[in-house]
């Protein structure tokens, strides 16, 4: 029977980063991914990396292109009622974030791990987890039409919100906390220069809008849309018109539009699974928790989970010490709930959820308070930069 030390389900950023860090510590892993390499490397998702994320990517040896091409951002803008307020991250926290696409993180980690001889099986089907509560776990799967079984000490469930790992846990063994928001985000990627050199989060009575970017020549924009909207209902022209309408006039007139090269809709929801462990299975990243994207926390939480699990597994293999394995879930959940709270608060501040006019007036009051209070701005800045991990 084939055996490895840790089976990692999912070759997203959390699975690849964990594989890479464990390989550096001499721990043997096999990564099993449902999709092709080309598919996972093309998925457009996150763009904002906290300093702790950048630090761990550097430790993993995956920092070269990130240092060269990542855009350091020392602040971001809040737009509302024809005005903007800058959250000066650097002045308020002494730190900044880095704008670097998740697609690039994914490519850097994949190339690095494979070049160092790491094993990643792509296009694996029908994964079943066995004996998670036993002395040794097993993972069965179909690869190239052949049924395989791999025994292992531990399974890392890095397979996202729709993966098999969290579903393999008996319902009575965990608690799930879920919140569904009544809106979605329609995102467009276009080869046009960004309207602002910093991110702009806009509150408008027609709904939220976000101006982000991937480079000086590639922009990523989002607008709040209805939860049931389909991409084909939104032409490029409709998207640009709606975005323009939700930005302050001076910014809207400076917006450069162009054909979309990607367009997608993401529902907004929040979910936390507690604990993040069941026997030999550890849940990591989106497999354990989802946050609405407003706070830019999802990828950063996935990376902090990886740090905690990597420290725990190396403690176990190098020092026969199970303490950090036993503490993994509680250490990770501290940061998860911090980010869940911030993402919920920021989402509620910036989106239009109801037709109640008081909702918008209360939001504007809170935004004005942020604009006038250094203490309130500092709290936002600290949360955006993220707690140290």
What is the binding site for ligand RFL (CB under 6 A)?
9-15, 32-35, 40, 45-48, 102, 124, 127, 158-160, 162-164, 185, 187, 266, 285-286, 293, 296-300, 302
87 makes contact, choosing from ligand RFL, ligand PHB, none, with CB < 5 to 8 Å by partner type, with none
Nearest to 185 by CA among 75, 298, 277: 298
Which residue lies nearer to ligand PHB by CB, 11 or 189?
189
220 makes contact, choosing from ligand RFL, ligand PHB, none, with CB < 5 to 8 Å by partner type, with ligand PHB
Residues of the shown chain interacting with ligand PHB in the complex, contacts defined by CB under 6 A = 46-48, 199, 212, 220, 293-294, 296
Smallest separation (angstroms) from ligand PHB to the CB of 337: 19
Tokens of 60: 């993993």
Distance CA 212, CA 22 (A): 33
Q: Using an 8 Å Cβ cutoff, are 125 and 34 in contact?
A: yes
* C-alpha torsion sign, points 322, 326, 328, 334: negative
φ/ψ bin of 206: left (φ > 0), alpha (ψ from -120 to 50), beta (otherwise): alpha
DSSP designation for 247: S
Active-site residue flag, 201? yes
Smallest separation (angstroms) from ligand PHB to the CB of 77: 12
Nearest to 297 by CA among 58, 2, 47: 47
Which residue lies nearer to ligand PHB by CB, 8 or 209?
209
Distance CA 168, CA 276 (A): 12
Active-site residue flag, 122? no
Catalytic annotation, pick one of 293, 317, 328, 351: 293
Smallest separation (angstroms) from ligand PHB to the CB of 214: 7
Run of H or E residues at 381: helix 374-385
Catalytic annotation, pick one of 100, 222, 317, 384: 384
Which residue lies nearer to ligand RFL by CB, 33 or 153?
33
8 makes contact, choosing from ligand RFL, ligand PHB, none, with CB < 5 to 8 Å by partner type, with none
325 makes contact, choosing from ligand PHB, ligand RFL, none, with CB < 5 to 8 Å by partner type, with none
Distance CA 272, CA 203 (A): 27
Q: Using an 8 Å Cβ cutoff, are 122 and 32 in contact?
A: no
Smallest separation (angstroms) from ligand RFL to the CB of 33: 5
From residue 330, alpha-carbon distances to 173, 201, 275, 323 in Å are 15, 32, 8, 12
Distance CA 262, CA 297 (A): 22
Catalytic annotation, pick one of 141, 297, 328, 351: 297
Q: Using an 8 Å Cβ cutoff, are 96 and 89 in contact?
A: yes
Run of H or E residues at 330: helix 323-350
Catalytic annotation, pick one of 181, 201, 222, 317: 201
Active-site residue flag, 181? no
Active-site residue flag, 263? no
Active-site residue flag, 162? no
Q: Using an 8 Å Cβ cutoff, are 342 and 387 in contact?
A: no
Which residue lies nearer to ligand RFL by CB, 81 or 311?
311
Smallest separation (angstroms) from ligand PHB to the CB of 188: 11
294 makes contact, choosing from ligand PHB, ligand RFL, none, with CB < 5 to 8 Å by partner type, with ligand PHB
Q: Which residues contact 262 (CB under 8 A, 6 or more apart)?
A: 44, 187, 188, 189
Which residue lies nearer to ligand RFL by CB, 79 or 155?
155
Distance CA 26, CA 42 (A): 30
Which residue is nearest to ligand PHB, using beta carbons? 47
Which residue lies nearer to ligand PHB by CB, 212 or 273?
212
Smallest separation (angstroms) from ligand PHB to the CB of 91: 20
Q: Which residues are catalytic?
A: 73, 201, 293, 297, 384
């Amino acid at each position: 029977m084939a055996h490895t030390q840790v089976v990692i389900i999912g070759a997203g950023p959390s699975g690849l980063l964990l594989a890479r860090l464990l390989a550096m510590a001499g721990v043997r892993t096999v990564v099993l991914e449902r999709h092709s390499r080309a598919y996972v490397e093309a998925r457009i998702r996150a763009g904002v990396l906290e300093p702790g994320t950048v630090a761990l990517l550097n430790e993993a040896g995956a920092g070269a292109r990130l240092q060269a091409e990542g855009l350091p951002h020392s602040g971001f803008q809040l737009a509302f009622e024809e005005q903007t307020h800058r959250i000066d991250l650097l002045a308020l926290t002494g730190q900044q974030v880095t704008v670097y696409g998740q697609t690039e993180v994914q490519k850097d980690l994949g190339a690095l791990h494979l070049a160092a001889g790491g094993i990643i099986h792509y296009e694996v089907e029908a994964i079943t987890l066995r004996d998670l509560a036993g002395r040794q776990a097993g993972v069965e799967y179909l690869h190239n039409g052949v049924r395989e079984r791999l025994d292992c000490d531990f399974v890392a469930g890095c397979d996202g919100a729709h993966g098999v790992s969290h579903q393999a846990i008996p319902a009575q063994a965990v608690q799930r906390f879920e919140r569904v928001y009544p809106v979605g985000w329609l995102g467009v990627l276009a080869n046009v220069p960004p309207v602002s050199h910093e991110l702009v989060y806009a509150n408008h009575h027609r709904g939220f809008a976000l101006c982000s970017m991937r480079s000086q020549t590639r922009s990523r924009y989002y607008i709040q849309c209805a939860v049931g909207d389909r991409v084909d209902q939104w032409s490029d022209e409709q998207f640009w018109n709606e975005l323009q309408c939700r930005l302050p006039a001076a910014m809207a007139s400076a917006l450069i539009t162009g054909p979309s090269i990607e367009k997608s809709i993401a529902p907004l929801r929040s979910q936390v699974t507690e604990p993040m462990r069941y026997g030999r299975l550890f849940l990591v990243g989106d497999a354990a928790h989802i946050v609405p994207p407003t706070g830019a926390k999802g990828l950063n939480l996935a990376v902090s989970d990886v740090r905690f699990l990597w420290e725990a597994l190396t403690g176990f293999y190098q020092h026969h010490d199970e303490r950090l394995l036993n503490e993994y879930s509680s250490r990770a959940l501290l940061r998860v709930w911090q980010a869940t709270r911030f993402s919920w608060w920021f989402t509620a501040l910036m989106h239009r959820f109801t037709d109640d006019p008081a909702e918008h007036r209360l939001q504007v009051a809170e935004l004005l308070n942020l604009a006038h209070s250094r203490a309130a701005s500092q709290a936002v800045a600290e949360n955006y930069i993220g707690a140290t991990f």
